[in-house]
Amino acid sequence: MKKIDRKIKIDNLEIEDLGFEELSEEEDELITKMIDEAEKEIESKTKPLTIRMPLSQIERFKKIAAKKGLPYQTYIKSILKQALDKEEDIA
């Protein structure tokens, strides 16, 4: 039996599994394989993007993201998604 103690990184957020369960080697290998496949799928569905923005806007994003406890790029992605969702509702 093995105890779960993993950290998973998704969109620059590190998630730590704090729940400990006893697993057989077979179960541990299966879960590890599933996590690896999920991480590959997430990675394959994203594409790097380069945009130019005024430094003042970047600093504003960083300040707000820090208050929310988020990496600023993750925060920018969430703001862009909210704006897109809103625009789709209007259109």
3-57: per-residue pLDDT in tens?
A: 445 555 555 555 555 555 566 788 778 877 887 787 777 767 778 899 999 999 9
21 within 8 A of 38, measured Cβ to Cβ: no
Nearest Cα to 57, choosing from 40, 37, 79? 79
53-75: per-residue pLDDT in tens?
A: 999 999 999 999 999 888 899 89
Instruction: Give the start-to-end residue ranges of the domains of the chain.
Output: 2-44, 55-90
